[in-house]
Amino acid sequence: MVSEDDVQRLFLQALVSRRVVTKPLARILLKKCVEAVKAAKEDLDIHIPDNDDSLNTFVINLNASLDKLDLEIVPFVDGLTGSQVYVLANRKGDEIAQVASDYSPAELAYFKLLVEMIITAPNSSYCLSSLAALRESQTLKATFTKTHAERILDTFVARGWLHKSKKGRFSLTTRSIVELQTYIANTFPNDVLHCTVCHEMVFRGIRCHTRNCEGILHSHCYAAYKRTRQMCPVCEASWGGDSEGKLKKIGEGAFVEGQDKHAKARRRADDDEDEDEDEDEVVYHEDEDAEAGGSTQPPQSQKKGKGKATGKGKASAKAKGKGKAREESMEVDTEEEEPAPKRRSSGRNKALKDEDGGGGEEEESSRPKRKSRR
């Protein structure tokens, strides 16, 4: 049975297929939905004016119905274009796996890694080069081929999770920012900037040129702000005239060639330190096992080193310990098999031997023999 509720169903279906729509497009979609329902039932009285106020009221009523499904139509300002948009966001959970549920575990791990690299990018550039994105795919446990990684990156862009600029750099889209807002805030609290005007997260914008000033604005917030004021809203430094060119950029405009390599090197260094700590713990347990086994060798202190050097040190120490134990066992066997030294006969026995004609030998043989020391 056709009813007025079908307008909401058609509009929601249009949002599901697009996920993000601009405000002008949302008005067009709503108008077409009303016309489609009226065409199915001409006597149905549906009156929804074609203006922004009617659209906002319609979205509020629709959100009340979507609350049971953990979905929400969020009004937002696109950081790239500055236009007002509506985003169909999943409010079910804060984890990426719950939001981007149409990907495999390996693909989700790759996307999570890309989000981390983008958020923690140096110079507040919040972007990642294509070369670095492909290189990071090889650091996962389930490594991808280059072709597979390129295909996955294309799907991230096609489905609105990542934006790829003309220079081939990846950044977060409006959909990612809205749906992953809680995850980003909880996971990277020290890497996210907030706008001084609207207090939302900033991934593209400007920063005050004054040292240590926290005057940060979105690009679209700055465009509206500078129409009435020409100074920083925090430190009140001049932003007009020549000072406007001194403002620091946030986003791809702050990208420095080669920064991806430095970011990777810093993260690899942290991983190496973690591996060193793990290896030191293993060495400690080996020493305890040696003491429990009754080893006569004194414990030797081992210094921390890189992973490869520590592995070689343990192998060589183990080989030396085995060799030394083998030499000690051979020495013990030699002492056991060595015959007891002969007693030197005294001058008295020799004289008796000469007088008695060998009586000394009988006397010597009649004495009890001393046991050899082992």
Task: CATH number of the domain at 199, please.
Answer: 3.30.40
Residue 32 and residue 103 in one domain: no
Residues 102 and 180 placed together within one structural domain of the fold: yes
pLDDT of residue 295: 43
Q: Cβ distance 95 to 106 under 8 Å? A: no
Residue 156, CA distances (Å) to 106, 161, 176, 193, 198 in order: 14, 5, 10, 24, 28
The span from the CA of 313 to the CA of 282, in Å, is 13
Flag whether 274 is in a domain: yes
Tokens of 63: 């959100």
State the CATH number of the domain containing residue 186: 1.10.10.10
Q: What angle is formed at CA 90 by the lines to CA 96 and CA 18, rounded to 5 degrees? A: 105
Q: Is residue 168 part of a domain?
A: yes
- Provide the pLDDT for residue 146: 87
Beta bridge partners of 88: 73
In a domain, 39, yes or no: yes
- Nearest Cα to 88, choosing from 11, 202, 171? 11
As a whole number of angstroms, the distance between CA 351 and CA 356 comes to: 9
Per-residue model confidence (pLDDT) at position 139: 85
What total of structural domains would you count in the chain? 4
* Domain span holding position 36: 5-90
> DSSP letters of 176-200?
HHHHTHHHHHHH-TTT-EE-TTT--
- Cα of 293 vs its chain's centroid, Å: 41
Residue 271 has what pLDDT?
A: 54
Encode pLDDT of 44-87 as tens digits: 878 888 899 999 999 999 999 998 888 999 999 998 889 999 99
The answer to whether position 70 is within a domain reads: yes
Asked if residue 141 and residue 203 are part of one domain, the reply reads: no
**Which residues does residue 168 pair with via DSSP β-bridges, in sequence order?**
none
118 domain-assigned: yes
> Do residues 159 and 220 both lie within one domain?
no
Does 172 lie in the same domain as 115?
Answer: yes
Q: In whole angstroms, how far apart are CA 237 and each of 51, 232, 240?
A: 40, 5, 9
Residue 346 in domain:
no
Q: At what angle do helices 23-40 and 52-66 cross, to 10 degrees?
A: 80
CA distance 26 to 24: 5
Q: Which of 191, 212, 228 corresponds to the end of one domain?
A: 191
Q: What are the mean pLDDT values of the chain's consecutive 10-residue runs (374 residues total)?
A: 86 93 95 90 82 93 91 93 92 66 85 94 93 89 85 94 95 94 92 95 95 94 92 92 87 84 53 50 41 43 42 46 47 45 46 44 46 46
According to the model, what pLDDT value does residue 49 have? 83
Q: Are 58 and 124 in contact (CB under 8 A)?
A: no
Q: Tell me, what's the pLDDT at 314?
A: 45
pLDDT tens digits, 345-368: 444 444 434 444 444 444 444 454
230 in the same domain as 210? yes
Residues 187 and 109 in one domain: yes
CA distance 239 to 114: 35
Note whether residue 156 is domain-resident: yes
Phi (first) and psi of residue 90, to 5 degrees? -90, 120
Check whether residue 20 and residue 73 sit in a common domain.
yes
Considering the domain architecture, whether residues 65 and 104 belong to the same structural domain is answered as no
β partners of residue 87:
20, 74
In this structure, the answer to whether residues 84 and 25 fall within a common structural domain is yes
Structural domain includes residue 167: yes
Same domain, residue pair 187 and 207: no
- Residue located via tokens 């030394």: 324
Q: What is the DSSP letter of 78?
A: -
Q: What is the pTM of this model?
A: 0.67
SS3 275: helix
